Structure 1
Amino acid sequence: MRKLLPLIGAHAHGGGRSALTCRFRCGDACFQEVPNTSDNAYAGDVIAGVLSRRSTLRAAAVVTVASAAGGSLVLGGAQEAQAHPGGRPGHGSAPKADGARGLRFAPVAPNTADQVTVPSGYGQNVVIRWGEPILRGAPAFDAENQTAAAQAKQFGYNNDFLSLLPLRGERDRQVLVANHEYTDEILMFRGYDAENPTREQVEVAWAAHGLSVVVVQEEHRTGRLTAVSRHHLNRRLHTTSAFELTGPAAGSALVRTSADPAGRTVLGTLNNCAGGTTPWGTTLHGEENFNQYFAHGSSATDKRYGIGAGATERKWERFDKRFDVAQEPNEPHRFGWVVELDPYDPESTPRKRTALGRFKHEAAQPRLTEDGRPVVYMGDDERFDYFYKFVSSKRMMKGDSRRARAHNLTLLDEGTLYVAKLTGDSPAAEIDGTGKLPNDGEFDGSGTWIPLATAGPDGAVSHVPGMTAEEVFVFTRIAGDKAGATKMDRPEDVEPSPRTGRVYVALTNNTNRGKGTNPGADEANPRNLNKHGQILELAEHWDDPASDGFAWRLFLVAGDPNDPATYFAGYPKEKVSPISCPDNVAFDPHGNLWISTDGNQLGSHDGLFGVAVHGDRRGELKQFLTVPKGAETCGPLIQDRRVLVAVQHPGEIDGASVEKPASTWPDGPGKIVRPSVVSVWRADGRDIGV
């Protein structure tokens, strides 16, 4: 029997996120007043009048069946099919190893090494670094002579979400799409004065945000990838690029500004965190902590979205009035959306899809109903905020014709936006805030999707009393408050399994739960002062993603497996890796869930973990890699022959600067620290984990 992996005895830099991360990543969100001060119910309470009689009966039926089955979620037989054998022809049989198929590797022990640490028998390479040229005319990166003009043609900073798409007609090439969430000016510029940034520094930061499209070349015998500079599909989109507002809020008085009186063209995309890849070949990008870029907020809606009354950390408002809410009160309303990008058309204008609502979008991952309508799941990354879904009223058109592509680029403009309400099935007395399992052995229950607004070809209709449809889409958080949605522990990435249809929600942490007047523990968020987070598993009624009800349970309650307040789907805890602060989630070709972490509270560096979600190894969690000092693991993407991760903000440790780096990754001593994308593969050329 394998022993529990060792824990690190002392934190490398105090444990969890550094103060530097809090400053530049989210504007010290965790040290501000909780934006959600509504008194709406939370999991365990039932609000009268929300559920229709049909929904109530359906929820009761699912819970009854689930209870009879010992608390298990109920899915159809086809959904429980075993994973396909996978593998890649021509490599022979994989060596025997312990673990579920796709997870047969020796787990990486928790550590604080200043490197990307991977399992024995695996290789790695840096695919692309911040500042590498990707457009024609781009100069080589020069850390000491950065310019906005150069950065606009170079790979952006702090890579997060990653997507790889096929590239027809070009052998062993794919299209890599990356988000660039935010900038660490103190780690970018020598001699940076945070109180007095220069215009050039600000404009470099503007250009370092946004999105990158880069063609990559695969080495045929391994999983190594290298960037193809100056390919015709390569693209950079940043804070001054044009984006189109589409859907029910486009043109609304709420999104008009002096520079855009029509309310339809936005300059830039900000704080793009995770995202999604659509079945029709586009990518989705969530605008998350956009609030931190705007100064001098004053309204109640500004406060609900975390926009402060003072100056911002980066002082952008000194150089462009649109970042000063006192001068442009509607400019913040043009951020906080899901952006859709067509990576195959370098001349296209990306679209901000207002039908998907405005909040701190961590991600947006679609699946299709049986009749071909997209359903998009989304989390709002804030303490005590909500998770959502959008159900399109239009069907995807198959094929790659010009007509099909044009039609599919309208799918996310019409449909209904919902927010989730969860109810636990255990007595309140059994949820004591310690993480102790209730008597039925699981944290589980039922839920409903509460409709907020519906957008159609002839206009939009609000389902929230006292709010217009435009207000619902622009002030979605307030609509969720009024609807009585469940206050969650920072719902970040939300990912449906392509095999089973079950939806997995990463709830990163919430150290404010149960503190002061804040809500205490409930069955979906069962620990007060929750510093390690959990993964929620959700099954739609009748396996229909358009359903208005669901069953749910906690698949994983994170932390040190020696802690009784942890849970790994019932798998023996002495056989799993310790994990803290789940952030992004993704699936591999075998149906296993992979989890990246952000802010590990166990003393080790953040990492990437794989966990089986079906079969007799369900809940077996193994660490695949760790990232360097101060870094976060982002953008996990697992293919047959490679794993891709975005190593974000390496060296982001209190007291660090260009002059005093806390990390020497990726290029060694004497070189500036650079966020980068890393590819990991098996040295013998076989598939990952088989």
Structure 2
Amino acid sequence: MTIERQDRRSLPMADHVRGKRSPVTCMLKCANACLGPECNRTDNPTFRSVVDAVLTRRAALGLGLAGAVAIALPSAFGVGPGRPAAAAASTTLPFQPIPPVPASVDALTVPDGYAWHPVIRWGDPVLPGAPAFDPEAQTPEAQALQFGYNNDYLDVLADPSGLTGVLVVNHEYSNEGIMFPPSLGAVERSRITKMAQGMSVVEIERDAIGAPWRATVGRRSRRITVETPFALVGPAAGGALLRTVDDPSGRMVRGTLGNCAGGTTPWGTVLSGEENFNGYFTTPTATAATSRYGLSASPSSTRWELEDPRFRAADGHEQEANRFGYIVEIDPQDPTSTPVKHTALGRFKHEGANVRIGEDRRVVAYMGDDERGDYLYKFVSKHRYNDGTGPGARRQNLQLLSEGDLFVARFSGTSPAAEVDGSGALPADGAFDGTGQWIPLTLGGRSMVPGMSVEEVLVHTRLAADLVRPTKMDRPEDVEPHPTTGRVYVALTNNSQRGSRHPLDEANPRTGNRDGHVVELTELQGASGTAFAWSILLLCGDPASPSTYFAGYPKELVSPISCPDNVAFDAAGNLWISTDGQPGTLGLDDGLFKVSLEGPTRGRVEQFLAVPVDAETCGPVIHDREGSVFVAVQHPGEDGSWEVQRSAFPDYGATGPGTFAGPRPSVVQVVRA
């Protein structure tokens, strides 16, 4: 749908976003989810009522948490000149934290001593024959050969030489209102945006190790779109819930939608999470399952259902929406391979999936369901990882996510209910912490949910999880295990309904949690076990607020941070967090932040960069040993229009072929100058 600038005050979320994000983003990215009926209306108990007093607390777990520091000093967002320099001795990315950037600034801001450049932009060539980018003459055929829109997850996979490689990127959604002139017909816009979403595999090259990467057209280059064939694999594949008039076998589906975060596996494939797929469908018949996933009879923002009957869940296409909401796996080295959707990992609004190899060599994948009041999940493979180097080992590893056990998390706290009062004030024991259990949904090929088959559990995973009473979380987004310590970090973006629709609990302890928080998990029985310990690492927000907490680090020495979204790690073991929502919560452009995890600086937050106006920071990749950081800049200038663009990122006034006066979502590399 083309949304003209003058119409934006009438958008459904215009009076509800309270500045958190643009109402345009709410419509296009998540189908105004906050206005719809609450997807999770179950009455699960808070974990305060199921505290297991015999489980040990953090002092016995060796988590090394710093004690509380009761400081509430004025911050004035004052990290920058005059503050301590930001660099662990072991990192090759020393930097002075940048001062926070006001939300109106249309610039990509990096520290002194660093420079940035776009590796690839929306419309740049990916495949042979791609025409020069021209948004006024764009066609579906051109877009299918070019880099897609609104890049999210990314990874940079270098070849052994270090001079060539591939860049793999998700394209989450599109915004016709700023992409194309109004003169371009609605049907043509619809066909183009189908080609602008999905994924890109881009060949890259550079002149020397540590030099900037540049995109090129090569043998492995590939575009994956809403029309690309995918194989459905795993226990639910072929079942009645996945069959349609176009695919009576229930084993092949066209396209992938809402691709948000992801992960790279130890065997070299890339995982992508299908997140807000519900907004692409109109579903005339309401059921418990369609309501739980936010499907409705309302027209979609894309209007694809007007020309493609599979997006109207009727007349033989009733199960089409059941074929989206999975973890997708692609092989970036083989452009002829058929990508797959893994039903064994469940169906929900996947932010992404990140894999580790457990002590028993089974593969463990961590996943968040990105909706207010939804859950944290874990998958454990049936078979074990083969660390051989031959083609046989890789073929075996490519099957690891097709069969295994699926779990959902239930958290228990250690503090009395009266000490979790919604203010963010620490309990008497000095921490929000406790233990938890991974509750099985499937185990050994059997359903562990009474009254539901394995197929039903894996297609209607939200309904299955509701029945085993896990803990409702504050929008679990990226969930990643640390590469050396094995601790798992969960980014919880926000939940303005915490304390009202969703009761307070110790893992989600703030009323109206608009700034979000980060939870640290430690598996107690190994990665494939069912018991874990947890603690809150960060309660995000303005450091001057008494409701914030930074693992005990002095609050006057940290950068303000709000709405954590994606996480990553550097070679020195630091956590890096990208944000999505700071313009509304702090009045600041979103950014990328480094967080120390060990020693006396544990909890220190330092801002590395800020993205342009209206944009969010996505998919951070930290190659600190080479002095590089990569981010995907998504939806810059989102709240503009074709006639009145709000951002000129990344070309900023450049002229000549392939330039554009408006914004172009891009993958950016930041390097030591």
Superposition TM-score, scaled by structure 1 size: 0.88
Partner of 2:232: 245
Matches within 5 A, 1:551-562: 551-562=533-544
Ranges in structure 1 where 5+ consecutive residues have no aligned partner: 1-12, 48-55, 75-95, 684-690
Aligned with 1:481 (options 429, 447, 466): 466
Structure 2 Cα separation of the partners of residues 199 and 433 of structure 1: 49
Tell me the number of residue pairs that the alignment of Structure 1 and Structure 2 aligns. 624
Partner of 2:529: 547
Inter-CA distance 465–428: structure 2 relative to 1 (3 Å threshold): same
CA displacement 1:633-666 (0-9 Å, x = unmatched)? 001000122100000000012xx11111011111
Question: In the alignment, is residue 279 of structure 1 matched against residue 266 of structure 2?
Answer: yes
Inter-CA distance 38–171: structure 2 relative to 1 (3 Å threshold): closer
Structure 2 Cα separation of the partners of residues 557 and 629 of structure 1: 25
Structure 1 Cα separation of the partners of residues 434 and 600 of structure 2: 23
Partner of 1:493: 478
Inter-CA distance 260–221: structure 2 relative to 1 (3 Å threshold): closer
CA displacement 1:497-521 (0-9 Å, x = unmatched)? 0010000000000001123xx1221
Find the residue that maps to 2:577 and give its secondary structure.
Answer: strand
Q: Could you tell me how far 1:174 is from its partner in structure 2?
A: 1.9
Question: In the alignment, is residue 22 of structure 1 matched against residue 26 of structure 2?
Answer: yes
Q: Could you tell me how far 1:16 is from its partner in structure 2?
A: 2.3
Find the residue that maps to 2:48 and give its secondary structure.
Answer: coil
Query: Counterpart amino acid of 2:44?
Result: N
Question: In the alignment, is residue 147 of structure 1 matched against residue 104 of structure 2?
Answer: no
Inter-CA distance 45–242: structure 2 relative to 1 (3 Å threshold): same
Question: In the alignment, is residue 182 of structure 1 matched against residue 176 of structure 2?
Answer: no
Q: Could you tell me how far 1:62 is from its partner in structure 2?
A: 3.4
Structure 1 Cα separation of the partners of residues 511 and 37 of structure 2: 18
CA displacement 1:257-314 (0-9 Å, x = unmatched)? 0000000001000000000010111110000000000013422211100012211111
Structure 1 Cα separation of the partners of residues 63 and 203 of structure 2: 46
Question: In the alignment, is residue 127 of structure 1 matched against residue 116 of structure 2?
Answer: no
Find the residue that maps to 2:107 and give its secondary structure.
Answer: coil
Partner of 2:546: 564
Partner of 2:304: 316
Q: Could you tell me how far 1:463 is from its partner in structure 2?
A: 0.2
Question: In the alignment, is residue 293 of structure 1 matched against residue 291 of structure 2?
Answer: no
Partner of 1:333: 322
Partner of 1:37: 41
Question: In the alignment, is residue 305 of structure 1 matched against residue 293 of structure 2?
Answer: yes
Find the residue that maps to 1:262 and give its secondary structure.
Answer: coil
Partner of 2:11: none
Find the residue that maps to 1:500 and give its secondary structure.
Answer: coil
- Give aligned-pair identity as a percent: 54
Query: Counterpart amino acid of 1:177?
Result: V
CA displacement 1:173-214 (0-9 Å, x = unmatched)? 121100000111111111179xxx622211111111101001
CA displacement 1:443-493 (0-9 Å, x = unmatched)? 0011000000136xxxx3100111111100001111110010100000000
Structure 1 Cα separation of the partners of residues 49 and 306 of structure 2: 47
Query: Counterpart amino acid of 2:404?
Result: G
Find the residue that maps to 1:616 and give its secondary structure.
Answer: helix
Query: Counterpart amino acid of 1:22?
Result: C
Find the residue that maps to 1:625 and give its secondary structure.
Answer: strand
Inter-CA distance 221–398: structure 2 relative to 1 (3 Å threshold): closer
Contact 1:223 1:679 (8 Å CA) reproduced? no
Inter-CA distance 316–620: structure 2 relative to 1 (3 Å threshold): same
Contact 1:62 1:541 (8 Å CA) reproduced? no
Partner of 2:70: none
Matches within 5 A, 1:505-516: 505-515=490-500
**Worse overlay, 377-386 or 320-329:** 320-329
Contact 1:296 1:325 (8 Å CA) reproduced? yes
Structure 2 Cα separation of the partners of residues 14 and 137 of structure 1: 45
Question: In the alignment, is residue 580 of structure 1 matched against residue 562 of structure 2?
Answer: yes
Aligned with 2:429 (options 440, 464, 475): 440
Partner of 2:605: 621
Query: Counterpart amino acid of 1:44?
Result: R
Contact 1:179 1:272 (8 Å CA) reproduced? yes
Partner of 1:529: 512
Query: Counterpart amino acid of 1:106?
Result: Q
Partner of 1:687: none
Question: In the alignment, is residue 157 of structure 1 matched against residue 146 of structure 2?
Answer: no
Contact 1:186 1:192 (8 Å CA) reproduced? no
Question: In the alignment, is residue 100 of structure 1 matched against residue 88 of structure 2?
Answer: yes
Contact 1:73 1:539 (8 Å CA) reproduced? no
Structure 1 Cα separation of the partners of residues 668 and 211 of structure 2: 11
Structure 1 Cα separation of the partners of residues 63 and 153 of structure 2: 34
Structure 1 Cα separation of the partners of residues 504 and 88 of structure 2: 33
Inter-CA distance 207–369: structure 2 relative to 1 (3 Å threshold): same
Structure 1 Cα separation of the partners of residues 183 and 575 of structure 2: 41
CA displacement 1:145-181 (0-9 Å, x = unmatched)? 111111111111100001111224x551121100000
Query: Counterpart amino acid of 2:393?
Result: A
